[in-house]
Amino acid sequence: MSILYKTTRFADTFSGDKETNVRVQLLSWDTLDTKAFVEYLAFKNNISKGDAYKNLSMILEGIEAILKNGNILNLDDFGSFSLNGSFCEDKEPGESHRAESIEVKNVVFKAEKRLKRRITAAGFEKYNPERHNKRKY
C-alpha cells in the first residue's frame, strides 16, 4: 500500500509572486485511537486484545517513566523521545527562575533515518478524488 499525497501551490512571501512554490501534503485516511491500534496489534501478532493492551500500556508507561526521570529514550532504528521545557509565565531577564515556574512544553519524537527510509519505501501515489474513495477528513 502506498501513501497518498497531493500538491499545493503557495505564494513566495519574499518576492510577492503568487503560486510560485509547490509543497507536498501527505494524506491520511483515518486516525487510529487506542482501541483500534490494540485491535490491529492483536490481529497482526495473533494475540488477545487484552495481551496487546497490556503490552502497549507497559511500553507507554516505560516511556513516560524514562522521560519523568529526565532521560532521553533512544530506540535503535526507530527514533528518540525527549522533552522541551518553558517557563509558565514570562519573566524579566534579570529575575530569578524557580523550578515551580517551569513546565513541559513538548514531548518530542524524532524519527531515525532508517525508519524514515522504511516508510518512504512504501511508495507514494498522487491522490485522485475520482479514483480514490473519499477521505474521512
Tens of pLDDT, residue by residue over 67-82, are: 999 999 999 999 999 9
Alpha carbon distances (Å) from 19 to 6, 11, 26, 126: 15, 4, 19, 20
3-state secondary structure of 20: coil
In a domain, 133, yes or no: no
Banded pLDDT at 17 (limits 50, 70, 90): low
When the pLDDT of each residue in the chain is averaged and rounded to a whole number, the result is 88
Query: Is residue 10 within 8 Å of residue 19, measured between CB atoms?
Result: yes
What's the distance, CA 31 to chain centroid?
A: 12
Query: Is residue 52 within 8 Å of residue 66, measured between CB atoms?
Result: no
Q: For residues 18 and 58, what is the distance between their CA atoms, to the nearest angstrom?
A: 51
* pTM of the full structure: 0.76
In a domain, 87, yes or no: no
Give the number of domains in the chain: 1
pLDDT over 90 (residue 54) = yes
- Tell me what pLDDT residue 135 has: 62
- Tell me what pLDDT residue 19 has: 64
Kindly state the percentage of the chain with pLDDT values over 90: 57
In a domain, 92, yes or no: no
In a domain, 44, yes or no: yes
**Domain housing 43:** 31-71
